[in-house]
Chain A
Amino acid sequence: MKIIVDRQVCAGHALCAAKAPDVYQLDEEGYCCSNGATVPPHLHEQARLGARHCPEAAILLVDDEDAP
């Protein structure tokens, strides 16, 4: 699973990192900087939880075979 974050849309709510701290990292300004990161299988559920909480719907999770 791969994380795609739309940095134009991310507004720094930081709920992704609050709900899924093992998956999403924040930059110095508090915006999600996990674009392109690969999620190991045991963290897939946490990654989905964090993505669902994004109020801007800025996070897309793609399966490895669909990854660009």
Chain B
Amino acid sequence: MSSPVPVHVPPDRVVEFDRFTSPVLQRCPHRGVADLFKNSPDIFYTTGDRGHWVVASATLARDMLRQTDKFSSDPVHNPANARKPPTLPNQADPPLHTELRRIINPFFSPAGVQKLEHSVRQLAGELIDEVIGRGHCEFLRELAQRFPVQLFMRMTNAPMEDREMLVAKVDRFTRAPDIQQRLAALGELGDYLKGMIAERERTPGDDLVSLAIHGTVHGRGLTDDEKLGMVNLLFLGGLDTVAAMLSFIMAYLGQHPAQYQRLVSDPELIGNAIEELMRVHGVAGMERGVTADMDYAGLSFKAKDRLVFLPHVYGLDEALVDDPFRVDFDRPISSHLVFGSGPHRCVGSHLARLEMKVFIEEWVRRIPAFSVAAEGDLPTRGGLVWSPVAVPLEWPVADTVADPLAGQDQGAAA
């Protein structure tokens, strides 16, 4: 949807790009958008999605995301991103943001998520074993939309039968090109979560929802809106992002058998490989509002200007990474902003890393070779979170090893 170009935007800063509908998002979006960014001003303006700036430079993005006083997460400074219910703490600035994060930080810390490793590994193995004997699967729906999602449903003690309904609502919020449809999906999710919050207020458990709603900020309990905002963001983050990222990564490994063979022969490489594959397959973006008229990086912003960041491709910025399109599991550092930068760094980053590492370890143990069962580049979808449309995979069944740990002492690994 096009909107007029504001008068303070220089004409040479206008670039056509819609983060929901641009054709470049429909196949190899990372390469396409990285190329677009390379050939565009560091910060450009688009009339797509109701009009906003796009920060195309990873270096500027990192600088701006740190300056929460100038570039705010609060919709007061970015009315186009107002949501009902809100999402928190990502739509708050410090100091409220800091206080809200404190409630959930210990759960999501590296030590916190380490406690989940055993159940993460068990579920990964179970789900792979369900499809392994037939020699093929549609990875996105059959594994990616189940593995992290079922783990999340367990963490929040949400009813497993609601999984598909919730995934569909989050998908609509994340990818419907029409803002009214997105907000409607968010409203429906909010109504569902209100019921869950009321239930956990009556009977608190040791689940993540109970933890989030019973926290305190500045010595007081959370308001109803804050409780809903916190739980809302947990579900938006928990139900979609890892599914999308893991699907991109598995599609890449299926299309690059020599790279995959390196992981089979040396599983110790998997951690580095995931970091490098995340670098080139970012999935989620964020936005900010300008708090006051100001000059920045050669531009004049007006208060309430809307800024969109696309960490999806910041890891492909030559200013951040040498030879960025070369995927190299031996890179000393895979620099990226996939989990954001600054105080709003994705709270689920450690859980996401653990889930993907464990999943690929379990896949490598069982399936020594696999490929993508489709010619050419896979169709993809844009939106707030990019994702493949489907990832058909196939493998020779004769070489696989279902449940390779059966009969061994699994406790030794825990």
Contact = CB atoms under 8 A, between A and B. Distances in A.
Contacts of B261: none
Interface in B91-110: 101-102, 105-106, 108-110
B333 A56 contact: no
3 smallest CB-CB distances across A and B, nearest first, come from A30-B109, A29-B105, A11-B345
Nearest to B271: A18
Interface in A11-25: 11-14, 17-18
In this complex, the interface size class of chain B, counting residues with CB under 8 Å from chain A, is 20 to 34
Given A28-B106, A30-B110, A55-B341, A13 B349 contact: yes
A9 B337 CA distance: 15
B333 A53 contact: yes
Interface in B338-381: 339, 341-343, 345, 349-350
Nearest to A27: B109
11 contacts: A9-B66, A11-B341, A13-B339, A13-B345, A17-B110, A18-B110, A26-B110, A30-B106, A30-B109, A53-B333, A55-B341
A31 B108 CA distance: 11
B7 interface: no
Interface of B: 66, 101-102, 105-106, 108-112, 332-333, 335, 337, 339, 341-343, 345, 349-350
A51 to B, nearest CB: 11
A30 B111 contact: yes
Contact of A26 (B108, B111, B332, B349): B111
A26 B348 CA distance: 16
Contacts of B66: 9, 56
Interface residues of A, number: 16
A14 B339 contact: no
Contacts of A18: 110
Given A28-B109, A30-B105, A30-B108, A52 B333 contact: yes
B109 A29 contact: yes
A29 B341 contact: no
Contact of A55 (B101, B109, B335): B335
Task: Point out which of A9, A11, A26, A52 has the most chain B C-beta atoms below 10 A from its C-beta.
Answer: A11
A13 B112 CA distance: 14
